[in-house]
Copies of this chain bind each other. A is one copy, B any other.
Amino acid sequence: MSEDLTAVARFLFEAGTLKHSKRTGWWMAGVKDPESVADHSWRTALIATIIAKLEGADPGRAAFLAVWHDTGETRTGDVNHLGKKYTNGQADARDITADQVTGMPEVLARALRDVIAEYEEKESPEAVCARDADKLECMIQGVEYRDQGYVNAQRWIDNSRGRIVTKSGRALADAVLGTGSLDWLRAALGEK
């Protein structure tokens, strides 16, 4: 390992800020202390695994895309739809990744540029599944917030549901909407 890993070390501290960064849309929904971008990215990866498997795509690849898909938000923040109305164009995640990997060993840098590019190009089956997972994760979080009392979360549930495109993603969304948020505990304890 004679290569200099300083740029990698810097990136890992940079990534750490996404444990602090909140998904800012939830502030509008009334949630004072919402999930972090990291929290969201993690369950998105679980869901990407599942949708990809059900769709016959590569679950590991879909999870991999999901894990990395928001890493550019360390620099732009989680800018919502409303904010984009007031700027000319928005940041391209590929530009940010290019900056983030500068100085990393090239074999690694290339792999990271590739994973972000694949997600942004929205074409591979795994990218499509990971993007659906991003929406479905938001929908489930919305259901959870609604069950915690936030009445305005309904808007996020409806909007997210409407943006899911795969057959498996839609079926899974419907299953989620038909399942109580605490049913898992009852099932785990053998109550039903």
Copies of this protein, total: 6
Question: Which secondary structure characterizes the binding site on chain A?
Answer: helix
- Interface flag for A165 (CB, 8 Å): no
By beta carbon, the residue of chain B nearest A177 is B9
Q: Place the interface of chain A in its size category.
A: 35 or more
Given known pairs A1-B168, A9-B175, the reply for A147 and B151 (CB within 8 Å) is yes
Asked if residues B87 and A148 are in contact (CB atoms below 8 Å), the reply is no
Contact pattern, A 152-192, Cβ under 8 Å of B = 1, otherwise 0: 10010000000000011011101110110111110111000
B residues less than 8 Å from A184 (CB atoms) = 10-11, 13-14
Asked if residues B140 and A147 are in contact (CB atoms below 8 Å), the reply is no
Asked if residues B144 and A16 are in contact (CB atoms below 8 Å), the reply is yes
Shortest beta-carbon distance, A63 to chain B, in Å? 5
